[in-house]
Amino acid sequence: MESIRQSAGRILALFFIPVLLISIVLIAMVAVAPHALRLVVPRNETAPCATPYVNPSPYDNLVYHRGHAKGPNVTARAAILVEASTGTILYAHNEHEVREPASITKIMTAIVAIERGDLADVVQVSADAARVAGSSLGLAAGQRYKLEELIRATMLRSGNDGATAVAEHVGGSVAEFVELMNARAASMGLKHTHFANPHGLSAPGHYSTAYDIAEMCIWGFRLQKFADIVGCPELWSSPVAGGKPRLAYSTNRLLWSLAGADGVKTGTTSRAGHCLAASATRDGLQFIAVVLRSGARFHDASALLEYGFANFVRVDVAQAGQPVVDALAGPRGRSAVGLATGRNVSVVVRRDEVDALSSQVEVAERLKENVRVGQHAGWLRVFFDDEQLREYPLYTVGSLKSRG
């Protein structure tokens, strides 16, 4: 037994001593104090943000706040609240449950049409599009509309005829457009979404989840035209030639009733129930709420959004391209070069958790004098208490500066 203990001791020594020596020689830890973090709190009432201080999402793209199971009481069968800029999930209930999205489908219809179509094109409404069932813009076969105007009217009034006309024009046929929708869903990383049509009427193989819809909205808001369309409460529209101009109002009541509301889409069918993807932005911070099969969708979505603004803040840790620390370079460290992240780094936490955040920078003790711009030279690590949340690579920016 004694010999076994001695052998184990020698093995441990052989493992730890080299690791300790390498660490001492190569690594210098530069602590960035918590007060260096920039807190973004909405004046009076607002606050969204990013939150990696929980287990990474098994679904890859979004990250869960550790308190995501707690939140306001909602009637929806599935619901989620996400901070848009960081993809932080602040509340979730049955968010991965596969359900029919109804006309929330049109979010993807609009994204694909904006990305693939020429918004100045003139669309001629086909007989097939004009007779699609369900919610309607009242289009007539042969009428001609600018593509952008048709997308806007379709999103405001949830017209199935408009969605079909858009799909036929941009995709060449409804079937080909649906292929584009599913390809775009795959490129977004939506793992539990599949489309069978561009309007959202019930059909085999047509489904999504609250989680995927929230991601879809985040992607959509990256398009300025999409954001402009879904945030518009009303629209005057008319055919290109002839026809009386009509005023259309959005089906999303929150655009009038909730401060900062700026999107996104309603959906209703007998099988899907009442659904809503809603968003609101205050002082530059945006939350997205999705409720599926809700007994009070506008109340549920509003409660989730207000819950986000009232309880969470975003802390900005680093700005892309802006040095967070200088690293020594050259003989005897006579020069220095700035190190920066390649992306904005922010964390979403509850208001009473801000003081628990800190960050550290780890860099090589000294860089070579011929260091290149954009060279990976260290790490920025963000901590909540003593738990590491995430780490981000640091790259050299600017030229070497003499340290005098």
**For the chain, domain boundaries:** 26-39+316-402
Cα–Cα distance list, 293 to 209, 268, 275 (Å): 11, 9, 5
For residue 386, what pLDDT is reported?
84
For residue 353, what pLDDT is reported?
92
Query: What is the pLDDT tens value at each position of the chain, 404 positions in all?
Result: 444 444 444 444 444 444 344 343 333 333 333 334 544 433 333 322 233 333 333 345 788 998 999 999 999 999 999 999 999 999 999 999 999 999 999 999 999 999 999 999 999 999 999 999 999 999 999 999 999 999 999 999 999 999 999 999 999 999 999 999 999 999 999 999 999 999 999 999 999 999 999 999 999 999 999 999 999 999 887 777 667 788 889 999 999 999 999 999 999 999 999 999 999 999 888 999 999 999 999 999 999 999 999 999 999 999 999 999 888 876 766 678 889 999 999 999 999 999 999 999 998 767 777 778 888 889 999 998 888 988 999 998 977 777 65
Choices 3.30.70.580, 3.20.190.10, 2.30.290.10, 2.60.410.10: CATH for 26-39+316-402: 2.60.410.10
| Signed CA dihedral, 258, 260, 262, 263: sign only | negative
Question: CA 323, CA 291: separation in Å to the nearest integer?
Answer: 41
Closest Cα to residue 38, out of 380, 316, 296, 279? 316
Beta-strand pair 357-364/27-32: antiparallel
CB 220 within 8 A of CB 290: no
CB 108 within 8 A of CB 117: no
Residue 247 CB neighbour total at 10 angstroms: 8
Closest Cα to residue 278, out of 232, 311, 230? 230
Sequence-distant (6+) residues with CB within 8 A of 281 are 260, 262, 287
Question: CA 161, CA 256: separation in Å to the nearest integer?
Answer: 26
Helices and strands: H and E segment counts in the chain: 10, 19
CB 309 within 8 A of CB 46: yes
For residue 172, what pLDDT is reported?
97
Question: CA 382, CA 344: separation in Å to the nearest integer?
Answer: 13
* 330: three-class secondary structure by DSSP: coil
- Phi/psi zone of residue 332: left (φ > 0), alpha (ψ -120 to 50 degrees), beta? left
Question: CA 282, CA 290: separation in Å to the nearest integer?
Answer: 18
Cα 41 to chain centroid, rounded: 19
Cα 394 to chain centroid, rounded: 23
For residue 332, what pLDDT is reported?
63
Label residues 149-170 b or e (16+ Cβ within 10 Å = b): bbbbbbbbbbbbbbbbbbbbbb
Closest Cα to residue 312, out of 77, 125, 40? 40
